């Protein structure tokens, strides 16, 4: 019970979901937790909702700051946190009651364990399991498969300088996992659904459809983690060479198919013309 969990809940314009989110925290079977609600300069009634929960249970705490974005809000909450283990939780999502209990059991088994996450389900505008690829550094170099609501040690967060506030348009979780895992450490996914991800018509990820924002993020990640991407995917020259080889191969296949189609058409028309004469 000495291993305190600090659950960090940034909130910006999501007060309507906050009760449901914090209720899932209150129902944790592992009781040695604190929950820091970070009001990131939200113009809605986040403060009023948060104060209700502070009065209900003194494990809930409240922090108000000027708007600085998701990374900034998480960093502010984690800086304030007293827990050994951190769990970020977006204000519109939920966690299962046994998440903390199961995660800490895994951390107790392995001192080299850096991240614990779980199976996840979607709710809201969509429902069903959230199918993500298994973790490996190779898979992580291609796309993130560890959602933000995963456990890690506060000391690992401190060693990499926290969440990068330059990731202002999204993908901050991908950047963070690369930062803490690229030099080693184990990752475990619990074989139990303990995270519930709300799907809404409008979200930050869907907002990433802006090509310029997307390019900025990928360019930034490529420069920051060049060593990681080269180690797992190969050098950019190597990748470009492979791309050229594949592209050339497809062009040849396409050219061969055109020849076959052309031969078929000429044969068909000759046959049709010949039969029409008789």
Query: How far apart are the C-alpha atoms of 37 and 34, rounded to whole Å?
Result: 10
Mean pLDDT of 127-149: 93
Mean pLDDT of 160-164: 97
According to DSSP, the residues that pair with 40 across neighbouring strands are 65
Query: How far apart are the C-alpha atoms of 158 and 80, rounded to whole Å?
Result: 12
Buried b (16+ CB within 10 A) or exposed e, 75-92: bbbbeebebbbbbbbbbb
Mean pLDDT of 46-54: 96
Question: pLDDT at position 204, please?
Answer: 47
pLDDT bin (cut points 50, 70, 90) of residue 138 is very high
| Chain-centroid distance, C-alpha 159 | 20
Check: CB of residue 145 under 8 Å from CB of residue 78.
no
Give tens-digit pLDDT for 10-44: 999 999 999 999 999 999 999 999 999 999 999 99
Query: How far apart are the C-alpha atoms of 150 and 174, rounded to whole Å?
Result: 12
210's CB contacts (< 8 A; 6+ apart) are 169
pLDDT bin (cut points 50, 70, 90) of residue 87 is very high
Pairing of β 94-95 and β 186-199: antiparallel
Pairing of β 113-124 and β 128-129: antiparallel
Please give the model's pTM, rounded to 2 decimal places: 0.83
* Averaged pLDDT of the chain: 88
């Amino acid at each position: 019970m000495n291993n305190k969990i600090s659950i960090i809940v940034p909130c910006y314009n999501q007060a309507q979901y906050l009760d449901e989110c914090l209720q899932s925290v209150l129902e944790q079977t592992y009781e040695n937790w604190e929950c820091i609600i970070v009001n990131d300069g939200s113009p809605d009634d986040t403060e009023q909702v948060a104060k209700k929960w502070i009065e209900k249970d003194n494990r809930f705490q409240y922090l108000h700051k000027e708007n600085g974005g998701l990374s900034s809000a998480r960093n502010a909450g984690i800086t304030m946190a007293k827990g050994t283990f951190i769990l970020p939780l977006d204000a519109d999502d939920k966690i299962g009651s046994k998440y903390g209990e199961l995660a800490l059991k895994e951390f107790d088994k392995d001192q080299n364990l850096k991240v614990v996450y779980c199976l996840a389900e979607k709710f809201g505008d969509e429902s069903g399991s959230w199918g993500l690829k298994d973790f490996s550094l190779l898979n992580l170099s291609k796309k993130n498969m560890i959602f933000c609501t995963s456990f890690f040690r506060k000391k690992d967060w401190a060693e990499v300088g926290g969440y990068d506030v330059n990731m202002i348009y999204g993908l901050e979780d991908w950047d963070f996992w690369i930062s803490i895992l690229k030099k080693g450490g184990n990752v475990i996914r619990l074989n139990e659904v303990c995270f519930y991800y709300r799907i809404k018509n409008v979200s930050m990820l869907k907002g990433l459809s802006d090509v310029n924002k997307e390019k900025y993020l990928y360019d930034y990640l490529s420069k920051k983690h060049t060593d990681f991407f080269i180690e797992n995917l190969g050098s950019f020259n190597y990748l470009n060479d492979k791309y050229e080889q594949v592209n050339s191969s497809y062009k040849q296949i396409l050219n061969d198919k055109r020849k076959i189609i052309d031969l078929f058409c000429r044969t068909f028309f000759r046959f049709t013309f010949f039969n029409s004469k008789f």
